[in-house]
Amino acid sequence: AQTVTQSQPEMSVQEAETVTLSCTYDTSESDYYLFWYKQPPSRQMILVIRQEAYKQQNATENRFSVNFQKAAKSFSLKISDSQLGDAAMYFCAMDSNYQLIWGAGTKLIIKP
Amino acid sequence: IAGITQAPTSQILAAGRRMTLRCTQDMRHNAMYWYRQDLGLGLRLIHYSNTAGTTGKGEVPDGYSVSRANTDDFPLTLASAVPSQTSVYFCASSLSSGRPNEQFFGPGTRLTVL
């Protein structure tokens, strides 16, 4: 079965520092997409970044980057120069069989 | 309308009552999805539709039904609500159910069943 695991229910980071959120997954497919979504207190789900499995280069979007380790089935999200507006739940997801498989989420707290 | 809208924003419902959550998108996306979000469990797929006129069951379909009469609308119906259906419900859409299946979300509906 395809699974996505986020082992950190909660993380905290000092403003302006860097934080890494972990995500591991299990799949038998060779090509797939991985996503990080952000859900701030407003409840709106927002796509942060996506990675295609066959691309070896790690995706980057401004202060957000991923460390994609295909062999280890790991897909961590690094947030640099953390800002108060980054406080949110972060969800890792993988596409599988025309659907998305979701992790349970990590709550990120930003300390001013 | 821009993106996905959901109605109502929140609702308190007596157990046993029938309720329809509405979802409309204006992006001409082919695929649409309904999720429920419960604390500590992330998002769980209830039903999906790969294209107008077709629907499928997700991970937790029991107690829910959907229809997809046209591209834009994807209502979710609780025929006889029970307290375990208290949750936040999200509607989402994607251009296609095929890869990359990047999904766009509505603002959610908070439903409380008493």
What pLDDT, in 10s, does the model give residues A50-71? 999 988 899 999 999 999 999 9
Q: Which of A42, A50, A105 sits opposite B42 (nearest CB)?
A: A105
Q: What is the pLDDT of residues B44-95, one digit of tens each?
A: 999 999 999 999 999 999 999 999 999 999 999 999 999 999 999 999 999 9
Residue ranges of chain A with per-residue pLDDT less than 70: none
Q: Which residues of A touch B33 (CB under 8 A)?
A: 99
Helix (H, G, I), strand (E, B) or coil at B69: coil
For residue A38, give both structure tokens. 């952000």
A33 contact B CB<8A: yes
Please, which residues have CB within 8 angstroms of residue B83's CB and are 6 or more apart in sequence? B15, B113, B114
Looking at residue B22, its pLDDT comes to 98
Q: Pick the more confident residue, B98 or A78.
A: A78
Find the closest chain B residue to A97 by CA distance.
B98
Percent with pLDDT over 90 in chain B: 87
Bridge pairing between strands A33-39 and A88-96: antiparallel
Find the closest chain B residue to A43 by CA distance.
B107
Phi-psi region of B47 (alpha: psi -120 to 50; beta: other; left: phi over 0): beta
One-letter identity of residue B55 = T
Looking at residue B1, its pLDDT comes to 53
Q: Which of A31, A91, A98 sits opposite B101 (nearest CB)?
A: A98
Whether A45 and B50 lie within 8 Å, measured CB to CB: no
Asked whether the beta carbons of B9 and B109 are under 8 A apart, the reply is yes
Q: How far is CA A6 from CA A3, A23, A75, in A?
A: 10, 5, 10
One-letter identity of residue B71 = T
